Chains A and B, each alone.
Chain A
Amino acid sequence: MIIELTSNLGTFKTLKFKSGLNILVAERHETSGAKETRNGTGKTSFVELVHYLLSDKRNADDDFHKPEIIGSDFCGKFSDNGSHFLVCKKSSANTDVLKKDGKEITPKNLRKELGLRWFDLSDEDSAPTYGPKFGALIAYFVRKERNGGFASPIMNSTSQQGWDSQVSLSYLLGFDWRLPQKLQVKKDEKKDADTLAKMIRSGYLTDGALDVNKMQSRLDLLDTEVDAKRKEVTSTSVLDGYRRHEVIANDLTGRIRDLNEANLEDLDLVESIDLALREVEDASVADLKSMYEQVGIFFSDQVKKRFEQVETFHKQVARNREAHLKRERKNAAERLASRKKEINELQIGLSDKLALLRSGMAIERLTFLQSDLNRLEAEQTDLRQQLPRFRNVEEDRKRLGREINDLVDLIGQDVLEREGPRKAAVQIFAETSQFLYDEPGQLIVGKSSGVAGLSIETDIVGKKSGGKNHMQVFCFDWLLVEAAIKNDRFPGFLIHDSHIFDGVDGRQIGLALSLAKAKCEKLGIQYVVAMNSDDLQKIKSEEEVSGEAIFDPTDFIMETRLSDEPNGGLFGIKF
């Protein structure tokens, strides 16, 4: 329980608490206008102070860091099971200094210690993601109006996550908190898988649903295509083809050169034959006659032939020679012609090859093949990497979907099987609400219709007003207190600020206080409630009207009273 709240701030109004019911009254001054709020009276500051002492976050904008307040020590004296401890925090411009029993301690360690002390919350339990946390648990017993703590029974603030509420309440009510915790982990995984699937889908198959088979068949096709292309490229056929063209072209050039050389020789030959033919013609009979005469002079005894015979011989040899030369000439001409024809043919072949080589067709083809192969290989690699992920993602999504449904079912099963806690919860809520409204309210615990997990719904009779909502919170909190005590997970105190009675009829306020008093006595706990003086007045008025005693708060009103006068607030300073 809380024993006292103090501060070294001179104007601070020390709050001393007793066990059982404590009513912190904020007087509404006679002169205050109806519309004037009483935020300045510090009822909220009192709840904020408890949070401030236990918080692990420093909010530089809160009241404790206002210029008038900053640098002050605020202390809370707590006790449980007979042992006392003092938690003090000094606000400062940079880092607040937290001390427990005079020794400096980090907020994290203090919460760890208190988590174990107040909520039996071990490190192992609070360590996992989405496990029960000290901050969430304490926020149920010290609800903050500013965070929307009175908007819903099952939520300690409007910004609380569904899983956090489920895990915390399961923990306090004695259900298996690990199921909603696991559920949230699975939901996260599913969300990741969904996102991934969406990413892949948008990146891959824009048309239509996820079709793994379609991707697989594309990959199969690519495998074959890439293999064929790779073979074509890596096999030397293309390169060899190019080289073969080159060799052939060189060969052709060589042969043409040889042929041209041979032709030049033959042309020379023809020229010389023509010359020789002219020489044959030149061998005229006139010279023959003078030769014959000279033989007659020099070798008169030796002349064996008549001139006519010599002339015939001469003509025969000349003709013979001429025929030979002409034959030679004809052969040469034929060789020239045949070579020219061959050269022409070779030239055509060569120019084809040269055109092919010059155009770089072979290289171009190779380049084309290579780039084609590269493109296909890239797609293949991409698909090969994506497909297993894709397939996994699809399977993961299905599996997670099943697991989520299973967990939700398990949560429902867990609640059903834990008859004790469930029935107690339903009963306590019914009794509490019946005490206030004569009719029992309903607490429905079970699995959600969707995948939310644990569903806790409350309903009580009464007007559809803020008052009814607040009374549901009131009933639910007392249920939490009783359940938490049973599970040894209760800090020993419940704190409500005045908002709990906003819009509530005087009769119900009185009955609520009366119930709280009885519960405190029965359970041996401390309940601190801040109230506006006119809410107390409402009870009196109700009693006067009905003539029946509802509740006399006098003995429970705390010594320290707050008011809306300039220095009447908790801090004694108006800011």
Chain B
Amino acid sequence: MLMPTKHIKTENALIGVGAELLALLDMSKTASRLFHDLQEERRRNEITTIHFDWFLLAVDFLFTIGAIRFESGLIKKMNQ
């Protein structure tokens, strides 16, 4: 789940998705916007899109390690 395995590619492991999300959070975004941007980016890179629940878990992961925060409906990177 968190880490890539024999059956889970890096880009699909939460740590991979989380890295992608951090790259997309150049500015604070709503969850939906961030989800939308992620899907776009993945389509552009010809990577399979992911379900929202998996995206949310990746966002939860980033929150758990203190990489992002949630402020008035917007997701922000911690150092911003």
List of A residues within 8 angstroms of B61 by Cβ: 291, 295
Counting CB contacts under 8 A, is B44 at the interface? no
Within 8 A of B (CB), among A264-315: 276, 279-280, 282-284, 287-288, 290-292, 294-295, 298-299, 302-305, 309-310, 313-314
Give CA–CA (A276, B63) in the complex, Å. 22
Q: Decide yes or no: A317 and B53 within 8 Å by CB, A292-B64, A295-B2 being known contacts.
A: no
Give the secondary structure class of B's interface. helix
Output the least CB separation between B23 and chain A (Å): 19
Output the least CB separation between B26 and chain A (Å): 19
B53 near A280: Cβ-Cβ < 8 Å: yes
A305 near B32: Cβ-Cβ < 8 Å: no
Q: Decide yes or no: A324 and B30 within 8 Å by CB, A304-B66, A317-B75 being known contacts.
A: yes
Give CA–CA (A57, B59) in the complex, Å. 138
B1 near A298: Cβ-Cβ < 8 Å: no
Output the least CB separation between A189 and chain B (Å): 106
Instruction: Please pick, from B32, B57, B65, the residue contacting A302 in the complex, using a CB distance under 8 A.
Output: B65
Q: Decide yes or no: A304 and B65 within 8 Å by CB, A317-B70, A320-B30, A324-B32 being known contacts.
A: yes
Output the least CB separation between B70 and chain A (Å): 6
Within 8 A of A (CB), among B32-53: 32, 35, 51-53
A298 near B2: Cβ-Cβ < 8 Å: yes
B3 near A287: Cβ-Cβ < 8 Å: no
CB-based nearest A residue for B35: A321
Counting CB contacts under 8 A, is B11 at the interface? no
Counting CB contacts under 8 A, is B60 at the interface? yes
Give CA–CA (A110, B51) in the complex, Å. 136
For chains A and B in complex, what number of residue pairs have CB atoms within 8 angstroms? Answer: 83
Counting CB contacts under 8 A, is B27 at the interface? no
List of B residues within 8 angstroms of A316 by Cβ: 70
List of A residues within 8 angstroms of B60 by Cβ: 288, 291-292, 310, 313-314, 317
Counting CB contacts under 8 A, is A173 at the interface? no
Within 8 A of B (CB), among A82-104: none
| Interface mask (A504-529 → B, CB under 8 Å = 1, otherwise 0) | 00000000000000000000000000
Give CA–CA (A295, B66) in the complex, Å. 12
CB-based nearest B residue for A276: B52
A288 near B32: Cβ-Cβ < 8 Å: no
CB-based nearest A residue for B68: A313
Within 8 A of A (CB), among B7-23: 14-15
Output the least CB separation between A95 and chain B (Å): 121
Counting CB contacts under 8 A, is A460 at the interface? no
Instruction: Please pick, from A280, A288, A324, A328, the residue contacting B57 in the complex, using a CB distance under 8 A.
Output: A288
CB-based nearest A residue for B69: A313
Counting CB contacts under 8 A, is A393 at the interface? no
Counting CB contacts under 8 A, is A325 at the interface? yes
A284 near B53: Cβ-Cβ < 8 Å: yes
B63 near A313: Cβ-Cβ < 8 Å: yes
Q: Decide yes or no: A305 and B53 within 8 Å by CB, A291-B14, A316-B70, A321-B31 being known contacts.
A: no
B52 near A305: Cβ-Cβ < 8 Å: no
Counting CB contacts under 8 A, is A318 at the interface? yes
A314 near B56: Cβ-Cβ < 8 Å: yes
List of A residues within 8 angstroms of B59 by Cβ: 317
Output the least CB separation between A309 and chain B (Å): 8
B2 near A291: Cβ-Cβ < 8 Å: yes
Instruction: Please pick, from B1, B30, B52, the residue contacting A280 in the complex, using a CB distance under 8 A.
Output: B52
A324 near B2: Cβ-Cβ < 8 Å: no
CB-based nearest B residue for A301: B65
CB-based nearest B residue for A321: B31
B66 near A279: Cβ-Cβ < 8 Å: no
A325 near B2: Cβ-Cβ < 8 Å: no
List of A residues within 8 angstroms of B56 by Cβ: 280, 283, 314, 317-318, 321
Instruction: Please pick, from A276, A279, A303, A328, the residue contacting B64 in the complex, using a CB distance under 8 A.
Output: A303
Instruction: Please pick, from B2, B14, B52, the residue contacting A321 in the complex, using a CB distance under 8 A.
Output: B52
Give CA–CA (A279, B49) in the complex, Å. 13
Q: Point out residues on A near B: beta carbons under 8 Å.
A: 276, 279-280, 282-284, 287-288, 290-292, 294-295, 298-299, 302-305, 309-310, 313-314, 316-318, 320-321, 324-325, 328
Q: Point out residues on B near A: beta carbons under 8 Å.
A: 1-3, 14-15, 30-32, 35, 51-53, 56-57, 59-61, 63-66, 70, 73, 75
Smallest CB-CB A-B distances: 9 pairs: A304-B66, A283-B53, A279-B52, A294-B2, A324-B32, A283-B56, A302-B65, A282-B53, A321-B31
Pairs A–B under 8 Å by Cβ, sample size 21: A279-B52, A282-B51, A282-B52, A283-B52, A283-B53, A287-B53, A288-B60, A291-B14, A291-B64, A294-B14, A295-B2, A295-B65, A298-B2, A299-B65, A305-B63, A305-B64, A305-B66, A313-B60, A314-B56, A314-B60, A317-B59
